[in-house]
Amino acid sequence: MNEFELIARLTKTLPTNESVVTGAGDDCAVLDLGVPDKLILFKTDAVVEGIHFTRETAPEKIGRKALARCLSDIAAMAGTPTAALVTIALPKNFDAEFVAQIYAGLNALAEKHAVAIVGGETTTNPERILISIALLGTVARGKHILRSGAKVGDAIFVTGELGGSRAGKHLEFEPRLAEARWLADHFQIHALMDLSDGLAGDLPHLLKASQVGAQLLKSAIPVSRAAKMRAKENSAAKPAVLAALTDGEDFELLFTIASKHAVKLLDAWKKNFPELKLSCIGKIGGGEGILLRDKIGSHKLNAHGYVHFA
């Protein structure tokens, strides 16, 4: 049983109440707690030594990544983060200075985005470090964007470049908070999520939620320089485009918008975010799954992104 099969089983019987606008199945839970003009976003995420970082990783980068992953999910709902709780589990022989530097990296990113760290928990975990973040945020009523709104004919966009995250980006990425809020304020975005498990792993979640399919143009996928260099220098490495589809931990935005607004969006994006690439990589269609079009023709995309327990 892989990660998503387990999630599907566990979420079938989750209790709910009248405060829940959106529960399990999207980037954040969306709650209505009676705050005027605002909904509450609630997210948790964890990083584990040996999975998300190594013992040799600089500690401030570990802390930064732990919070940045949750911030990226708030961005995926076009929200604003507000406060976080931090749970850290440590082996008995932990280095206090190393842990302090983890918090230094976490705190620096929190201050950058005006996030209050309001407490948490410390506990013992044999052999390896684990950090779990619970993050609250807000979004204006009517402005939160789910995965489930993609429509047939929509253009599919991604920010930035994909693939090669292990070259360092997975520790240093910038959560696209400002960009997502700008999108929500200026355009009618139909569906939105962030890319954590790779385009080939995450796009199917958006398609399933929206009950649609997709056609991607291979030449339009924005492949990172790191992925291209790795493929060029190592014959045993993944082809660059496959790395862009499957490496994961890109933490860019993936979204859909009516095709008639695509050109206007691209023009406005270049004026507001000139240093961040925005690419139209395909369109939403009927049916199921993903078709990848190249010079030869169209074929079903069978590649998948990172999956825990697989």
CATH number for the domain spanning 186: value is 3.90.650.10
Tell which residue, 176, 141, 177, has the closest CA to residue 159. Answer: 176
Give yes or no: residues 166 and 281 share one domain.
yes
Angle, alpha carbons 245-247-252 (nearest 5°): 75
* Dihedral over alpha carbons 245, 160, 182, 84 (to 10 degrees): 70
The position carrying tokens 């570990």 is 62
Domain identity same for 165 and 276: yes
Read off the amino acid at residue 80: T
- Provide the pairing of β-strand 80-90 with 116-124: parallel
The total of structural domains in the chain comes to 2
pLDDT at 223 over 80: yes
Contact in structure between 90 and 197 (CB atoms under 8 Å): no
Q: Which domain holds residue 273?
A: 155-300
Mean pLDDT, residues 165-174 taken together: 93
pLDDT in tens, 12-35: 899 999 999 999 999 999 999 999
pLDDT reading at 206 higher than 60: yes
Q: 133 and 169: one domain?
A: no
pLDDT at 307 over 80: no
Q: What pLDDT, in 10s, does the model give residues 235-273?
A: 878 899 999 999 999 999 999 999 999 999 999 999 999
Instruction: Answer yes or no: is 183 within a domain.
Output: yes
* Portion of the chain with pLDDT greater than 90, in percent: 87
Q: Is the pLDDT of residue 309 over 70?
A: no
Closest CA to 19 of 37, 4, 2, 41: 41
Asked if residue 310 belongs to a domain, the reply is no
Q: Are residues 234 and 169 part of one domain? A: yes
Cα–Cα–Cα angle for 286, 288, 292, rounded to 5 degrees: 90
Q: What share of residues in the chain are helix, strand, coil (percent, to 5)?
A: 35, 30, 35
Q: Indicate the residue type of 8.
A: A
Domain membership of residue 306 (yes or no) is: no
Task: For residue 105, give the H/E element and its range.
Answer: helix 96-112
Residue that the structure tokens 């040996």 belong to: 50
pLDDT digits (tens, 9 = 90+) for 111-151: 999 999 999 999 999 999 999 999 999 999 989 999 999 99
| pLDDT exceeds 70 at position 298 | yes
| Predicted pLDDT of residue 52 | 95
